[in-house]
Structure 1
Amino acid sequence: MAEDPEIVVQHDDDDAEIRSGLDRVVAGSTRILAWAIFVAFAVTVFEVISRYVFDSPTFWAHETTTFLIAAIFLVGGPIALARDKHIRVRMFYDSVSPKGRRWLDIVNSVLALIFFAGLSYAAWIMSSKATFTPAGEFRLEGTGTAWNPPTPAMLKVLVLICVGVMFVQTLLHLIAAIRRKPATNFDATGEH
């Protein structure tokens, strides 16, 4: 019987691209937030068993699973930004010098700040309407179903939190890009 070749597993260093303390906290939160996927899976399995084995469907499982998956999706934005795994047009970024990359990072950060500022404003309005009545009384918007959980309000507040975190992350990235010393065009011998 032939022996199996040794399998080598390479672990990516999760902190390799982390640029700030806030990024480290956000990236570290994934160890806790990843469990939400297992909770959503468990709720779905419970619903399937309840519905098809015991002929007793739940009225809360679908909304709970939808909320958990939507929350995971929202938190993915700050996590991708923290780990520097967001979408970047590598064809342009990789074709320029380190000095050019620095300027692309600065321009990208400024544009992202403008975008996140506008998105934060919209998220503030949306979450305010979901958490307060027009008269100013605290009320969480529900789904309108028989169970009527306040998950729409919770998701809208989470949008505001995630966008706010991404704004601060981008501001810290901009500061780091501005402070980063541009690479010189000298080689190891000091010649041009």
Structure 2
Amino acid sequence: MLLIRLIDGLNEVVGRVVSWVAVLFAGLIIYDVVLRYVFNAPTLWAFDLTKHLFGFYFILLGGYALRHQAHVRVDLVTGALKPTPRRIVELLGYPLFFFPFAWVFVTQSYTFALRSWNQGETTYSAMQMPVYPVKIAMAVAAVLLLMQGVSEFLKLLLNKSEENRNVG
């Protein structure tokens, strides 16, 4: 199904691109530690920037993680079930739990980001970095997560096997 391939492909690309933020994040931490402890010249900006990068990294990988079934799951019930009842429980779980949560996440993070943008919100540190990029990323991540949930639900509905669900 084209919609499934598009959503999966989008989250795959976002996940692979955002994963490189970890390299940048690690480099900045090493840079700051070396300046602080070797040269006794700490930066004013590195700590805030690494917090922002970690926020981008952590939040934007939600859809990618769902695509690869990497989220924490409660398998106490479903783990003991045969494939068909497990599929039914998962099918019910999306409209009962996932979609309502994801919708609240989308709407509230959008409101949160819009307010931050309109206020020109910044950090309270000496650098006063803008906060709204991370909050906008949260809204984008919520949409990506909701879209991936639609993809996973459609895969279940169309009875795609577990192997096919994890392959691009």
| TM-score exceeds 0.5 | yes
1:26–1:79 CA contact under 8 A, matched in 2: yes
2:18–2:57 CA contact under 8 A, matched in 1: yes
Normalising by structure 1, we get a TM-score of 0.73
2:105 alignment partner in structure 1? 119
Give the number of the structure whose alpha-carbon radius of gyration is greater.
1
Q: Within 5 A, what are the aligned runs for 1:145-184?
A: 145-150=125-130, 152-180=131-159
Gaps of 5+ in 2: 161-168
Q: Partners of 2:151 and 2:6 in 1: how far apart? A: 10
Deviates more, 1:141-150 or 1:170-179: 170-179
Point out the structure with the larger helix share: 2
Deviates more, 1:114-123 or 1:70-79: 70-79
Change over 3 Å in CA distance of 1:52–1:35 after alignment to 2: same
| Structure 1 moving runs of 4+ over 6 Å | none
1:90 alignment partner in structure 2? 75
Q: Within 5 A, what are the aligned runs for 1:36-185?
A: 36-110=21-95, 111-133=97-119, 140-150=120-130, 152-180=131-159
Instruction: State the 1:116 CA deviation.
Output: 0.6
Normalising by structure 2, we get a TM-score of 0.82
1:35 alignment partner in structure 2? 20
Q: Partners of 1:35 and 1:178 in 2: how far apart? A: 34
Gaps of 5+ in 1: 1-18, 134-139, 182-192
Q: Give 2:50's aligned amino acid.
A: T
Over residues 44-65 of structure 1, what are the superposed CA-to-partner deviations in whole Å (9 max), with x where a residue is unaligned?
2221222222222210010011
Aligned residues: 156
Q: Secondary structure at the match of 1:171?
A: helix
Identity of aligned residues (%): 21
Q: Partners of 1:130 and 1:86 in 2: how far apart? A: 28
Q: Give 2:147's aligned amino acid.
A: V
